[in-house]
Chain A
Amino acid sequence: MFFNTPPLALGASSQTLRRGNAALCGKPLTVRALCDTFAGVTETPSSPDVEAIMADIRREIAAAGGLAPGEPPGGSAAEAGLRENLAAANRLHAVGAVTGGGAAALARRATHKLLGTLIAQINEFNARTVRVLNEIVGIMEGEETASTGQVLEQSRRRLELVSELSRRLAEYDALDIDARLRRLEERNGVRDARGKA
């Protein structure tokens, strides 16, 4: 019921961008400008229905391929199991170093020395596997990873360019037709500095 705003699928900045054309014509497209635009909205004393807002948010996430609408917000049991296993993998991936003294430690040190290369290989394999698992879970949760970071950076630059274009268009739209013609002619060298054609 409170989600009468455009879908959030592309995140707040793209939403800001869309609104920029309609509501923020000529203003810089920043969060502050967005907030200022809404500053005069009349407020009613009723409390917002948080459950309804959350239901809308979950529906939207589900529509984008995230959590199912009926799924509890804490995550399913399968998700909890996944996280538990991942935490254990993070904790246990390295074959521990030998500490302490005594005969047992001496024996373990000797074993380590004999199997040193093998243990190093196992540790390397375990570390890489766990790193990949963390990255996969991160992607599942929608977090940025090393590889997705580059794509997001490119998207950010693109959005900045579109944002700048949108600002210039808004400026241009605000000028009356005569002024637009004059500017066009000036740019093309049709009109001289004194305004004569």
Chain B
Amino acid sequence: MRVAFVAPFFGARAAGGAEAECRKTALRLAAAGVQVEIFTTCALDLHHEWNVRFHRAGSRVEDGLAVRRFPAEGRELGSFNALNARLMAGRRLSPREETGFMAMHVNSLDLCRALADARRAYDWICFIPYLFGTTVFGSRVCPDNAILIPCLHDEGYAHMRIVADTFRRARRVVFHTRAEQELAARLYGLPAERSLLVGEGIDTDFTADGDRFRRKYGIPGPFLFYAGRKDETKNVPLLLRYFLAFRRRNFVDLRLVLAGPGGVAVPRTEKGAIVDLGYVPEQDKRDAHAAALAFCQPSLNESFSIVIMESWLCGVPCLVHAGCAVTREHAARSGGGLYFGSFAEFDKCVAYLLANPGIARRMGAAGRRYVRANYAWDRIVERYRTEVFATSSPAADPP
């Protein structure tokens, strides 16, 4: 079995959920005996200008994987930002504008040419995630064996016609959750036989020590924990507002501990109640999970949310936003957490977790069982081998 992964960015230093998923999945499949190659650009990640060649173009072996890098096209920042702003505001673009936007959104003509030349050498070619030129144009040059791993959530970009067309052309589409699968069915009318619910692999073998975290950071008492980007797109300002209102209404000694990039404006009088740790080492993040009353994920735009899984693996329940179908589905299916759609619900949910520690622990344990049963790497690799790559595509040359 020979498989290629196509991603806009690749490497240990490429920040982003889809990038991490691509790398880990490729490494695990390779370890399981699948021949895996990577097609990607020379760009570092979404946050650095894409036509700057952070990596050298060409083929080499990275972490034991064969990686082929191609220079990304430049973009005209003014028109790109104008189109992007319209999409983010939920407005439609004309077909010409959509093509123009996608041609500037991490695209590489050299990569597309190389794919066209090599497409018959692979049984399957996996494109991840949906919103990049490498996926939209790359999947068009190998329609017979293109598998899309979209990492989809309901946002302005998902409603573009060019995106709908990409979903409809792919031979198979791999989803992380039922909610994501249902969204694609609703938006693009994707037939069931091309739609596969696989999930995302999670590292389940790690240890976490809540007491170690408390000793190191000097944080006593119960606290809610959030880890991730601290900005509007993750709905963190809402979490801060709700948390402060909860504290003032309920008079309990509860803190909010934040970890991750970005800044938040904390009122001077509330510095003791909200602790912003910034970047923390991976082990400290796990220890913080273990020490927390609950992990709170207020984001509305999640296609999987690895951080919730990490919290559950530490035996801690989660509190998610009801407006995010994916995280709400995780919480409801696993029994591992509660969800809020308003301040009143946030208030009652936190009070409930504080007053019912026995049930909170059972929620954490239920979440842990859910992760191990569905998203442990051996399960995911098995699903890829037996379901996603079940039969050879008509495009591949016989061995």
A12 within 8 Å of B (CB atoms): yes
A28 to B187, CA, bound (A): 55
The verdict on A144 contacting B251 (CB below 8 Å), with A53-B338, A58-B345 known, is no
Cβ < 8 Å to B, chain A residues 1-54: 2, 5, 8, 11-13, 15-16, 30-32, 34-35, 38-39, 41, 43-51, 53-54
Which 10 pairs of residues, A with B, have the shortest CB-CB distance? A47-B335, A73-B341, A47-B366, A73-B322, A41-B358, A11-B250, A12-B351, A13-B251, A66-B344, A143-B245
Residues of A within 8 A of B355 (CB): 5, 8, 12, 15-16, 34
Task: Name the residue on B nearest A13 (C-beta).
Answer: B251
Task: Name the residue on A nearest B331 (C-beta).
Answer: A50
Residues of B within 8 A of A192 (CB): none
Interface 0/1 of A158-179, CB less than 8 Å to B: 0110000000000000000000
Are A38 and B358 in contact (CB-based, < 8 A)?
yes
Residue in A32, A64, A67, A156 whose CB lies within 8 Å of B221: A32
Interface 0/1 of B344-369, CB less than 8 Å to A: 11011111101111110111011001
Are A61 and B323 in contact (CB-based, < 8 A)?
no
Residues of B within 8 A of A34 (CB): 354-355, 357
A-B contacts besides A54-B338, A143-B242, 20 pairs, CB < 8 Å: A2-B356, A12-B252, A12-B354, A16-B252, A35-B357, A47-B362, A48-B359, A48-B366, A50-B331, A50-B363, A53-B359, A57-B338, A57-B352, A66-B342, A73-B339, A73-B345, A75-B341, A142-B347, A144-B248, A160-B251
A152 within 8 Å of B (CB atoms): yes
A195 within 8 Å of B (CB atoms): no
Are B366 and A74 in contact (CB-based, < 8 A)?
no
Are B354 and A67 in contact (CB-based, < 8 A)?
no
Are B338 and A141 in contact (CB-based, < 8 A)?
no
Minimum CB–CB distance from A65 to chain B (whole Å) comes to 10
The verdict on A15 contacting B345 (CB below 8 Å), with A144-B245, A152-B248 known, is no
Interface centre among B222, B249, B251, B357 (most CB of A within 10 A): B251
A72 within 8 Å of B (CB atoms): yes
A7 to B352, CA, bound (A): 10
A60 within 8 Å of B (CB atoms): yes
Residues of A within 8 A of B363 (CB): 47-48, 50
Are A31 and B335 in contact (CB-based, < 8 A)?
no
Interface 0/1 of B239-274, CB less than 8 Å to A: 001101100111111100000000000000000000
Residue in A8, A39, A41, A143 whose CB lies within 8 Å of B348: A8
A-B contact pairs, 9 of them (CB 8 A): A2-B356, A43-B361, A50-B331, A50-B338, A54-B338, A57-B352, A73-B340, A142-B344, A142-B347
B334 within 8 Å of A (CB atoms): yes
Majority SS of interface residues in chain B?
Answer: helix
Are B248 and A149 in contact (CB-based, < 8 A)?
yes
Residues of B within 8 A of A143 (CB): 241-242, 245, 343
Are A31 and B354 in contact (CB-based, < 8 A)?
yes
A57 to B344, CA, bound (A): 9
B185 within 8 Å of A (CB atoms): no
Are A47 and B341 in contact (CB-based, < 8 A)?
no
Cβ < 8 Å to B, chain A residues 140-157: 141-144, 149, 152, 156
Are B358 and A30 in contact (CB-based, < 8 A)?
no
A30 to B222, CA, bound (A): 11
The verdict on A141 contacting B357 (CB below 8 Å), with A47-B335, A57-B349 known, is no
Cβ < 8 Å to A, chain B residues 305-349: 322-323, 331-332, 334-345, 347-349
Are B334 and A47 in contact (CB-based, < 8 A)?
yes
Residue in B221, B222, B342 whose CB lies within 8 Å of A75: B342
Cβ < 8 Å to B, chain A residues 68-83: 72-75
Minimum CB–CB distance from A64 to chain B (whole Å) comes to 8
Task: Name the residue on A nearest B241 (C-beta).
Answer: A143
Interface centre among A32, A60, A142 (most CB of B within 10 A): A142
Are A51 and B342 in contact (CB-based, < 8 A)?
no
Are B357 and A72 in contact (CB-based, < 8 A)?
no
Minimum CB–CB distance from A47 to chain B (whole Å) comes to 3
Are A60 and B221 in contact (CB-based, < 8 A)?
no
A142 to B241, CA, bound (A): 11
Are B348 and A57 in contact (CB-based, < 8 A)?
yes
Are A30 and B253 in contact (CB-based, < 8 A)?
yes
Residues of A within 8 A of B337 (CB): 50
Interface centre among B244, B253, B338, B341 (most CB of A within 10 A): B341
The verdict on A54 contacting B339 (CB below 8 Å), with A2-B356, A43-B365 known, is yes
The verdict on A15 contacting B366 (CB below 8 Å), with A47-B334, A143-B343 known, is no
Residues of A within 8 A of B248 (CB): 144, 149, 152, 156
Interface centre among A8, A47, A141, A160 (most CB of B within 10 A): A47
Task: Name the residue on A nearest B247 (C-beta).
Answer: A144
A35 to B359, CA, bound (A): 11
